Amino acid sequence: MKKIIIAIPFIVILCVSGLSIWKHGWKDFFDINIANVLTLSTAIIFTFLLTQKKNEDHRFRDSIVRLLENLQTRINDNLINSGFNEESMLKLQQEMRTIRNAIYAFRSVKNKLNIATEIDYIESQFNTYKDVIDNHICNYVYLEESSIDLSNYVALMSSKITETIVKIYTPE
């Protein structure tokens, strides 16, 4: 599909050139002054660079959105709010480390994408969740009693990620 899209402009240019040569002959076809050549070249190069930049920006945004979607899945699936025991706590600690590293990775791009407020909010909700777990890491009864608060932090993080994805794709 991508090859076809690239090939179409070349085919159109070849057809137009062929028609022009057929109608005016070789001599007239190549009879062009340097100013015209420069104008045409500048326009082509400028358009090409602009398109490239736009494509790169799209790819960058797409990759950030994919990472945000992965983060959202991890948060929804792995940040537990019940069933605390020694084994689940060990797994949760590993998950919290992975999620925290992911949130930290967004710090470097949050200003570029104008999502600093959203990332800071997600980080803050995550830190609150982590603080509750960390401060009562051996007190499973307390953690079970905090179940509603914990699930609330998870819900807030998840909905903010959705909001962030929408914002990334909203034209400025």
Among 133, 150, 154, 157, binds other proteins (CB under 8 A): 133
Candidate ranges 14-22, 41-49, 54-62, 94-102; the one touching other proteins (CB under 8 A): 94-102
Q: Among 98, 108, 20, which Cα is nearest to 60's?
A: 108
In the complex, minimum distance from the CB of residue 97 to other proteins, in angstroms, rounded to a whole number: 5
For CA atoms 65, 69, 72, 67, give the dihedral sign: negative
Among 51, 55, 76, 104, binds other proteins (CB under 8 A): 104
How far is the C-alpha of 90 from the C-alpha of 96, rounded, in Å?
A: 10
Strands (E), the chain: none
Q: At what angle do helices 116-135 and 86-106 cross, to 10 degrees?
A: 160
Does 69 interact with other proteins (rule: CB under 8 A)? no
Give 86 or 172: the residue with its C-beta nearer to other proteins: 86
Does 74 interact with other proteins (rule: CB under 8 A)? no
Candidate ranges 36-44, 70-78, 90-98, 153-161; the one touching other proteins (CB under 8 A): 90-98
Does 135 interact with other proteins (rule: CB under 8 A)? yes
Gyration radius from the chain CA atoms: 27
Strands (E), 18-146: none
Candidate ranges 5-13, 35-43, 100-108, 110-118; the one touching other proteins (CB under 8 A): 100-108
Contact of 103 with 122, CB cutoff 8 Å = yes
Does 101 interact with other proteins (rule: CB under 8 A)? yes
Q: Among 132, 134, 136, which Cα is nearest to 150's?
A: 132
Residues lying near other proteins in the complex (CB under 8 A) = 90, 93-94, 96-97, 100-101, 104, 130-131, 133-139
